[in-house]
Structure 1
């Protein structure tokens, strides 16, 4: 309300609420008495809204609230706000419930950059990123590890994403020389309060995270700071739970959890310890706040050529030796690339299939946030310069899906999926590792130039080593032509996919996927 209003006479408050089709569903006019507290005039009113259309990732129903305040015929203030209405809770045994329905959180961690476009917020680039993730089946975003751009939250509201809104990557104890720890003492209270005040209006925000892999886990200062930060959040928003992304899975050693202030306990990686979490932290709701850290380059299949070395480890995860004892991994492919197969992970993580299996099979884990949804600038694990961006993404920096994208689409959506890899340009006679992700089919059959190479069924690993509940594979001697996979349901073909040997390039075609562009 205008600061120069000296009179505390009653004011007229008109409240209107419109639905998504801009139909007026509430119109109410009240005479209210302003209350002055510490120089600020406030008004309070409850407006009923009937036959509510609830907000969810599947149905992101939004209303528009419009409020105007007048006094003696003079307009004093106007306000407009998008509204989404939903209710939820976490259960220590059965995970997450949204609007009364158990909902698996199928999330990704997302860094705030757009590849070659840089780190400044770009509306159209953000829309494209979120569309790709939505089509993959993703329903949640963790803002790793800083508050997001306001425009991103607007899009998450309208496109349907749950958001873990994360504040800090460090507190008082530093991770790097010039990080936020230098400013934490003076700025953390104001920064956190500003974040909560700014973002609490968004229906997409369902969790506040006060930190990621905070080093105060390991000393008693973690108890004091956790209680302080949670109190700051709760003073401004008591409607949403507070979590932190932690690494210490032993209750006696985890001083952030020991504070007893967190509503939800988030744990990064450590999938082999999930079952012990329920014992170490009895009665606490749990979420896999960061998982996977697998490493892939889109379209690179050099290890698909099966030789003696690769054949022995082709069904195993190759952990890149990047850590305290060896800072960088060797440039194994000679061009700073890594395999596009789901075989390689950083030493603290695992491959995508293992990580999802661990969450999917445990209802008490509310869901997962994969590290990461999209490749980002920096952290080029496991290589040094000239590598300059990450390999973790399900989607690369150009916004092109890697093969693992279709694994998630086959698991996280009801869309029919059939995806074959790798490409079909090799040397005559080379033995090639061929993979297929699929769903909504009983089995798939592979053909090379019209000849059947046999059927495969997920979960049939005893018959065909390398097959599991998520993908099937064949070892195929290369010959030029067409590789075709056919999916069958109840004995009938339901879809097919072809991969052909490419010839000499004849032209380049550029297709723009949007007719409009907005940069803000």
Structure 2
């Protein structure tokens, strides 16, 4: 057996005074396929691959039409996978007593049906692929010796999800070394009870766990530090920590001159808790110390004003998001989570629904940091199956533990504004379902009574929507999927009901906007979807003449490996519909223009489809052929010109759903749309100009300097451009990526979800002139050169610098 030793440079004496949570994502050995006996300490894993987590085993190969996951899983790989890793802790010769040390092995998530062993002995199992789980390994860990962790993840029963889930240890794994008397992991959370310009009152709650075997006198010191590091409030709480008891602690902090957390200014404070043991002489000894970020913000709902954040009404301009990261698969890198939130906020969204499962914690961290509200969702379905092997088989046995783990983990985040306990459950119309919903909601409220509970459902076919009233009465907010007219009717029919459009069609931006803005009890709109995603292959695709438009569950859609109904494409680039929505929602833009693909005189669409359109003026049609130009504008009128000639004018603005369409005879050159005010004065211009022949590649990195840490990623957008540097969208070519230096190519891909290429290779074909490469640090400082090349084009080169890593703050 050969493994990589992981040495933590600490003594147990040091552990006794602080909680130490170390990321152990590096240096695992991986095998795709079952490996009987691989849990044994002396198992020979020398032929296994070396991988660093987070790791998605399902994304490496090309999609296959006969993949067991089918279109729901994007035709990607799944199966059984194994991971092994060796850990070592060096202990001091004299173990401190008390409090000793408590060791826990923590998994942020593994998809799915996971079994874990330590030194050949089973630690336990965990089924649900989206909730965290952990094991106490204190009595099984061997200090000063190698310890072998073995993990078997079984994702072979397919299909088990309605979207791409990923396979394996796709989220972080941690080793926590703490004290026998300590703040219980995951128990610390806060609630802002009062917030005004002069002062804020913060409620702090946590549990003190004691596994020392006898009661211990302790004092908890709780301090709130502002963003500049200054202490703005502190208090102390003495208690007798009983053995094996929860030892609930609740304290109040009053902070002067608070800086509120909001969407526009997401200010974060640092909350620190210190535990001191107290001997009979009154002498104190620090035994545990934990810190956590928090935001000072109040959240309320009001029937006349809607959702109130810090006392001010806020409408939710939201989008549904699945958890994959395109070419990275489901692997949850903190950098990828933060990048996605940043892109979605730049596209006008102020809220995200985590459809339909708990997200990675790093995603919520990013929402806290960047100012994005989150509708946090636990489950897609309940007892009744949506796919043959989904969570329904385990629901009755596991839902309480999984729901509790979900709430305990996420309640510390100021970005989370509501809990969703389900989505379109197949039993939503059954008479016994409201009682189940009440039980689930009661569990959520027992752990976090400060946020509303909701669920999102669609209709009941021929049955009236009023048949869902008993179900909606079990929760605080009713989520309506694709039902703007019903929401408007229920606003009058049920005057005590708060509502959210939890899903809306991409093309229904105007209709949804009118319902949301007209009715105060409709809190917001969440479009399906905010960004393209893997799985549910073909959802939102357009169909050529002669093809019958069908949804993915009605017909196989291979080679589509993903859904194309997003406002942003798979790589994070905004589509025309994103600009259209921003204008309708009045989120900062006022004029946009796009051209409908003239490859078909008319496109077949499903409710999730938009006509294929792009913001360029390079089309393969005969000169003079009519091309449809779609314009969205908040100006009363628009004027369209081609190469200086007037094409026409049209009315836009609210009375015309902010939209106009003009037929333009195609001719290369400059296509210009001008926004006109009520007096006909030109106010704004949007221009599309025909690109010349492909000349070279350009490559832009989202950053050129970062830490030398295996968790660090750099995203590089590569484009084919003409001689003037303008994107050439109609001359796609295979781009090859070479990485020289202490980094690797983590993934490469395009926005084309029909491409059969593997995201794990070193080349990919551009789509509309674009491809994206993701480079990952190998943990060593140094310079890295990334080269993008394509036949017949000048190459592009970017130099990156990975500096020495900064210490990571434990979560």
Q: TM-score scaled to structure 2, two decimals? A: 0.53
- 2:744 aligns with none
Higher mean alpha-carbon deviation, 500-509 vs 187-196, is at: 500-509
Q: CA deviation at 1:271?
A: 1.9
Match of 2:650 in 1: 456
Bigger relative contact order (CA 8 A; separation at least 6): 1
Matched, 1:424 2:617: yes
Q: CA offset at residue 174 of structure 1? A: 1.1
The answer to whether structure 1 residue 32 and structure 2 residue 238 are counterparts is yes
> Could you say if the C-alpha distance between residues 354 and 282 of structure 1 is closer, same or farther in structure 2, counting changes exceeding 3 Å?
closer
- The alpha-carbon distance between structure 1 residues 24 and 493, as it changes in their structure 2 partners (threshold 3 A), is farther
Deviation at 1:83, TM superposition (A): 0.9
Work out whether residues 633 and 659 of structure 2, in 8 Å CA contact, stay in contact via their aligned partners in 1: yes
Question: Which of 662, 672, 693 pairs up with 1:504?
Answer: 693
**Bigger shift: residues 484-493 or 112-121:** 484-493
Task: Structure 2: give runs of 5+ residues left out of the alignment.
Answer: 1-180, 183-209, 278-282, 540-550, 596-615, 714-775, 777-811
How far the C-alpha of 1:424 sits from its partner, in A, is: 1.9
Tell me the distance in 2 between the aligned counterparts of 1:123 and 1:460: 40
CA deviations over 1:5-52 (Å, ceiling 9, x no partner): 5675653433322222333322x3536123537534444432211222
Other structure's SS at 2:700 match: coil
Deviations 1:216-258 (A, max 9, x none): 2211120221111011111111111110102237455226526
Q: Which residue of 2 aligns with 1:387?
A: 560
1:271 match: 484
CA displacement at 1:155 relative to structure 2: 0.8
Contact residue 351 and residue 372 of structure 2 kept, 8 A: yes
Please state how far the C-alpha of 1:57 moved relative to its aligned partner. 1.2
Q: 1:176 aligns with which of 370, 373, 387?
A: 387
The answer to which structure has the higher strand fraction is 2
- The alpha-carbon deviation at position 450 of structure 1 amounts to 1.1
Please report how far the alpha carbon of residue 80 of structure 1 lies from its aligned counterpart in structure 2 after TM superposition: 0.3
- Larger radius of gyration, structure 1 or 2? 2
Gaps of 5+ in 1: 295-349, 462-467
- 1:193 deviates by 0.6
Give yes or no for contact 1:95–1:286 (8 Å, CA) kept in 2.
Answer: no
Q: Give the superposition deviation at 1:455.
A: 3.4
- The change in CA–CA distance for 1:182 and 1:155 in structure 2 (over 3 A counts) is same
Q: Report 1:8-87 matches (<5 A).
A: 10-26=217-233, 28=234, 30=236, 32-36=238-242, 38-71=244-277, 72-87=283-298
Q: What is aligned with 1:359?
A: 516
| Cα drift, residue 481 of structure 1 | 1.4
SS in 1 for 2:688: strand
Q: What is aligned with 1:341? A: none
Moved more, 386-395 or 66-75: 66-75
Which structure 2 residues correspond to residues 223-262 of structure 1 after superposition, within 5 A? Answer: 223-248=434-459, 250=464, 252-254=466-468, 257=471, 260-262=473-475
SS class of match (1:421): strand
Change (3 A) 1:50 1:460: closer
Partner Cα distance (1:287, 1:203) in 2: 20
| Conserved? CA contact 1:141–1:161, under 8 Å | yes
Residues 136-176 of structure 1 deviation map (CA, whole Å, 9 limit, x = unaligned): 22111111010111111111111111111111111111111
CA distance in 2, matches of 1:374, 1:194: 27
**Counterpart in the other structure of 2:633:** 438
- Superposed displacement of residue 445, structure 1: 2.3
The alpha-carbon deviation at position 207 of structure 1 amounts to: 0.6
* Rounded Cα–Cα distance in structure 2 between residues aligned with 1:256 and 1:216: 13
Q: Alpha carbons of 1:97 and 1:255: their partners in 2 closer, same or farther (altered >3 Å)?
A: closer
- 1:514 corresponds to which of 686, 696, 703: 703
Instruction: Indicate yes or no: 2:495 matched with 1:282.
Output: yes
Within 1, Cα distance between the matches of 2:517 and 2:249? 47
Q: Residues 251 and 280 of structure 1 are in contact (CA less than 8 Å); yes or no, is this contact kept in structure 2?
A: no
Q: Structure 1 residues 45, 6: closer, same or farther in 2, change over 3 A?
A: farther
Q: Secondary structure at the match of 1:257?
A: helix
Query: 1:366: how far off?
Result: 1.0
Please give the secondary structure, in 1, of the residue aligned with 2:663.
Answer: strand
RMSD across aligned C-alpha pairs, in angstroms?
2.4
Helix, strand or coil: the match of 1:254?
Answer: helix
Structure 2 residue aligned with 1:403: 576
Preserved contact between residue 14 and residue 29 of structure 1 (Cα < 8 Å)? yes
* Matching residue of 2:790: none
Match of 2:403 among 184, 192, 196: 192
Give the number of the structure whose residues are more often helix, by fraction.
1
Q: 1:35 to 1:94 in 2, by over 3 A?
A: same
Matched, 1:128 2:342: no
How many pairs does the alignment contain? 455
Determine whether 1:477 maps to 2:672. no
Contact 2:424–2:457 (Cα < 8 Å) also in 1: yes
Post-superposition offset of 1:286: 1.1
1:101 corresponds to 2:312: yes
Q: Distance between the aligned counterparts of 1:488 and 1:286, measured in 2?
A: 37
Work out whether residues 8 and 33 of structure 1, in 8 Å CA contact, stay in contact via their aligned partners in 2: no
**Which TM-score applies when normalising by structure 1?**
0.81
Q: 2:530 aligns with which of 361, 369, 373?
A: 373
CA distance in 2, matches of 1:206, 1:444: 39
Report the equivalent of 2:323: 112
For the 8 Å contact 2:214–2:243, the answer to whether it is kept is no
Q: What CA distance in whole angstroms lies between the structure 2 residues aligned with 1:183 and 1:434?
A: 51
Superposition map of 1:124-163 within 5 A: 124-163=335-374
CA distance in 2, matches of 1:377, 1:184: 25
- Seen in structure 2, the aligned counterparts of structure 1 residues 232 and 415 have a Cα distance that, compared at 3 Å, is same
Q: 1: CA distance between counterparts of 2:633 and 2:465?
A: 40
Superposed displacement of residue 99, structure 1: 1.6
Residues 493/24 of structure 1: CA separation in 2 closer, same or farther (3 Å cut): farther
Contact map agreement 1:220 1:255 (CA 8 A) in 2: no
